[in-house]
Chains A and B, each alone.
Chain A
Amino acid sequence: MKKTLKIFLKLLGVLLMLFTGTFLIYIFNLDMKLTAAVEPWLLKHYDRIDRDRHL
């Protein structure tokens, strides 16, 4: 019984941490701030690709 309760509490703790973490990312728009930082790197990468450009 104690073991089940322990597992339940651990699971609850993990879920609570996951919720807190993702909610903070959500409310402070951290996901978009991260992707905005990635974009310039990607654009430079595209400039380096060889392409068969023609009409």
Chain B
Amino acid sequence: MAKEIGKDRLGDFYKEGSKVRKRREWRGVKDTLYDYSRWLKIMMTLGKFVVKPRNVKAMLRYRWMANYLAVPMMVDRHTQGLRGEYLRMCHVEQDLIIDDVAKLLDNLFRGDRRIGNDTEFSKKVVLVDENEMTAVMMGFPTLKCLSRETPSTYVSVLLNQHAAEHYLDVAAEFGLATDVCPMPAAEAGVSIDDDAPVLGACAIQCNTTCDGSLLGNGVISKRLELEDGVPVFQLAAPLRHREDDVQEYAAQEIRGAIAFVEKHTGVKWDWKAYFECAKRVNYATACRQEWLDMNRTDYPQVFGSNLALYTETNYMAICGRVEDFEKADRKLTKLANQAYEKRMRAAKEYRHRAIVWGVQSHFYMDFLVWLLNCWGIVPLTDMLSMVSTKRIAEEDTPENREQAIYDMAWLTENMIMRNRTHGGYKVLLDELWEFTEQFNADMVILWEHINCKALDGMHGMFEDRARELGIHLVWVDHDLFDPRIISRQGVRDQINLYMRTVMREEPIDPSLEVLPDDESW
């Protein structure tokens, strides 16, 4: 019950065998009342969503909707131990993301043939993958670009660590390999289990992540095209995205996708809307660069899950199409500057400066907050936040209209994660060491997603280079969506072991070292 950062024993809030915590944090009068006011806002967002009968109907139809019971708890996990500007930054992001996902769900159920069945609305819907840059929709302001996989699997696992287990079992039951990445496997499981909303004039699938994702898309598109009558375009972005000779092919894919959407929706591409979005993309990039510059100093401000989750959403899913995110960028930059001027720190003690690399465990996104609170390891940035910083053309001229096709192709190729996991040795390995130098990091936390074939082959090369440079390299194994393989405590144990045996350190908050959260959401 403390106002000061780091006074509480945060592990004491957990209860053995419980899904939820004993109580919420007391953060001093001002911060507690602020957090309470944001909780009320979330409750109002949820209330507005539930008041529509079609959304209640959807809640009773789709299994993954049960995970949305845990929305306030997701926010509590990410705000653990935070005070002042850090708490506010977290809420600016999380509340906006919640609002955006609520709108996405509302739109999905409005057009869904099983629920709202608004056929006119459905004709304006273009379905996209969860892991897909939405750049190609920047010039279609009157169409609704909706992802079914985002709420059914991606957000669900953020809300409830066990959310994907049922769908993984369904995929396995129908003979799909069980040693593939659980993300496309769970997405395919949702489709097999007949648990995806059915709507849309057409869909665009993308090869943006990996071959596992491609195979999962095959299962989904079969049902979409052959049974639901929704035509699907396969946007195949080149994997060697740093090479000049693939860019013309990538641009051609974009031209094809735009023509496909125009054909199936009857809506023409709008250049004015595109360039408005492009300006917002550039603004988001400039803000992110400013935050990363701060993180290179002794007073990092927007880091950890505050940086990771927001960048994923803003860069990939929003891609300049939603004005509210520009406002959030502005607010976040203002808060970060305030905190920087005051030389503020988010935790009691900063012991290590870390770059977090690899594909993070999705069922444990608040691990970054745990690193900070338990061991004083500051996650300065992460692989998924180190995306394109290239400015795209934003003035509407004939030359820029041609350039814009290449810009959209570039963004699509440089989707989060795939811009590092594909594209060659340099983007995954060499640039990591450049970042450790730029950020003055003494530690790399290297997620090893045990079912990610793209990264596992580089294990030895990471170790060799870390040894040469004298960087502490801590491997953290996980299975992305499936905590039954490696639990949250299993993830924590790998850090605990390294910190105790190699670093010979004691935790800052010992109550966090072992947590009874196996049953928790």
Chain A contact residues, CB within 8 Å of chain B? 22-23, 26-29, 31-33, 35-36, 38-39, 42-43, 45-46, 49, 51-55
Leading 9 A-B pairs by shortest Cβ distance: A35-B69, A32-B20, A51-B194, A36-B19, A46-B63, A42-B66, A52-B194, A36-B20, A26-B36
Q: Which residues of B contact A53 (CB under 8 A)?
A: 170, 174, 192-194
Q: Which residues of A contact B21 (CB under 8 A)?
A: 29, 32
**Is B24's beta carbon under 8 Å from chain A?**
yes
- Which of B23, B32, B70 lies in contact with A35, CB distance below 8 A? B70
Q: Which residues of B contact A36 (CB under 8 A)?
A: 18-20, 69, 521
Q: Which residues of A contact B73 (CB under 8 A)?
A: 32
Question: In the bound complex, do residue A29 and residue B23 qualify as a contact, i.e. CB atoms below 8 Å apart?
Answer: yes
Question: In the bound complex, do residue A27 and residue B193 qualify as a contact, i.e. CB atoms below 8 Å apart?
Answer: no
**Is B518's beta carbon under 8 Å from chain A?**
no
For the complex, what is the distance from the CA of A54 to the CA of B467, rounded to whole Å?
50
**Is B466's beta carbon under 8 Å from chain A?**
no
**Is B22's beta carbon under 8 Å from chain A?**
yes
Question: In the bound complex, do residue A39 and residue B19 qualify as a contact, i.e. CB atoms below 8 Å apart?
Answer: yes
Q: How far is the CB of A30 from chain B (nearest CB, A)?
A: 9
Using CB atoms, name the residue of chain A closest to B59: A42
Task: List 26 A–B pairs whose Cβ atoms lie within 8 Å, in order of A's numbering.
Answer: A23-B36, A26-B39, A26-B40, A27-B32, A27-B36, A28-B23, A28-B24, A29-B22, A29-B23, A29-B24, A29-B76, A31-B72, A32-B20, A32-B70, A33-B20, A36-B19, A36-B69, A38-B69, A42-B59, A42-B66, A43-B63, A46-B63, A46-B66, A51-B195, A53-B192, A54-B192
Question: In the bound complex, do residue A27 and residue B24 qualify as a contact, i.e. CB atoms below 8 Å apart?
Answer: yes
**Is B498's beta carbon under 8 Å from chain A?**
no
**Is B219's beta carbon under 8 Å from chain A?**
yes
- Which of A22, A42, A49, A55 lies in contact with B219, CB distance below 8 A? A55
Q: Which residues of B contact A51 (CB under 8 A)?
A: 193-195
For the complex, what is the distance from the CA of A39 to the CA of B24, rounded to whole Å?
20
Q: How far is the CB of B484 from chain A (nearest CB, A)?
A: 17
Q: How far is the CB of B318 from chain A (nearest CB, A)?
A: 28
- Which of A22, A33, A54 lies in contact with B40, CB distance below 8 A? A22
Q: Which residues of B contact A33 (CB under 8 A)?
A: 20
Q: Which residues of B contact A52 (CB under 8 A)?
A: 194
Known: A32-B19, A36-B69, A49-B61. 10 other contacts (CB 8 A): A22-B40, A23-B36, A26-B36, A26-B39, A29-B22, A29-B76, A46-B66, A51-B194, A53-B170, A54-B174
**Is B60's beta carbon under 8 Å from chain A?**
yes
For the complex, what is the distance from the CA of A36 to the CA of B26, rounded to whole Å?
22
Using CB atoms, name the residue of chain B closest to A43: B66
Q: Which residues of B contact A28 (CB under 8 A)?
A: 23-24
Question: In the bound complex, do residue B23 and residue A27 qualify as a contact, i.e. CB atoms below 8 Å apart?
Answer: yes
**Is B43's beta carbon under 8 Å from chain A?**
yes
For the complex, what is the distance from the CA of A42 to the CA of B72, rounded to whole Å?
18
Question: In the bound complex, do residue A39 and residue B60 qualify as a contact, i.e. CB atoms below 8 Å apart?
Answer: no
Q: Which residues of B contact A23 (CB under 8 A)?
A: 36
Q: How far is the CB of A44 from chain B (nearest CB, A)?
A: 11
Q: Which residues of A contact B36 (CB under 8 A)?
A: 22-23, 26-27
Which residues of chain B from 195 to 251 have a CB within 8 Å of any chain A CB?
Answer: 195, 219, 222
Q: Which residues of B contact A54 (CB under 8 A)?
A: 174, 192
